[in-house]
Amino acid sequence: MNNALSNAVRAGSARGVLEFRGTFTNPPDLFGYLYLPVLFVVLGIFLSDEEVDGAATNYGAVTYSGGLVLMLIMLGTLAVAQVLAAEREDGTFLRAKAIPHGMVGYGVAKAVHLLAMSAVAVALTVVPGLFVVEGFGPQGWGAALTLVWVCLLGMLAMAPIGATLGALFGNPRAVGLLMIPIMGLIVLSGIMFPLDLLPDWVRGLAQATPVYWLGLGVRAGTLPADYAALELAASWQLPVVAAVLAAWAVVGSLVALRVLRWTARRESGSRVQAAREKAMKRVL
């Protein structure tokens, strides 16, 4: 690695750490990371008295597991897309493009920030659940390790989707519209209720997405082993989970890289200025 490239990586890492620290001084960002764990703690406690037929667990634990998946999906898609779209509008993306290996440093900074915030978000979700949601949590060290690698692979699979969407959306406010299809995908992927309640064609469609496999892997790490009998294949299918998430991570990264390069070529000072003027008009 030459000096310019290694300097870009170091600068990107340092910037990612600074952005991570800055999150804790921004009340809206903090609220965004805290409200989902609080919401699902309440739901988990409320539903903990309802036992799941055929498994030694309750609907509170199952719902709380779905809340963890929802947190990861929102971080990997919506949050990444919003940040990238906002930085296209305010010129950060253009400034990164203008310096040697700037896009490398920019990508490293976003990766460091995302992974750090994902670790915090998972901790904020999992730790309270271990204490207050009956039946939720890894059943041994093997399950805990499963939860770690599933969350890591899941973020690597989801983040390129968010980056691609953020590169395509020039307006960060329009990114919020993505919430509708994302929530639809979550509902149709068995995150909040079993897929056997849905038609066969929906099940097949769900299994083509990383969302279903991320949910399956998280349940494998947080619910009792006998809950696997209620899954579509009556097992956790962890090798398939790893293969599908890894494939989405690799293919998604290649697609996101091409889209980001295409977007970077189109960026210019005049486009940024026009975007800023539109944003100011909306504020005024």
Predicted TM-score (pTM) of the model is 0.86
Going from the first residue of the chain to its last (284 residues), give the mean pLDDT of each consecutive group of 10, the final group possibly shorter. Answer: 72 84 74 76 83 80 89 87 79 72 78 85 87 88 94 91 81 72 79 74 84 93 88 89 95 86 69 52 49
**Residue ranges of the alpha helices (H) in 137-237?**
141-168, 172-175, 179-187, 200-206, 210-222
Q: What is the pLDDT of residue 284?
A: 47
Distance CA(115)–CA(151), nearest Å, equals 10
Q: What is the pLDDT of residue 57?
A: 82
Written as six digits, the tokens of 187 are 């509902």
Written as six digits, the tokens of 255 are 């697609």
Give me the residue label for tokens 């809950």.
227
Q: What is the pLDDT of residue 278?
A: 56
Q: What is the pLDDT of residue 283?
A: 45
Q: What is the pLDDT of residue 246?
A: 95
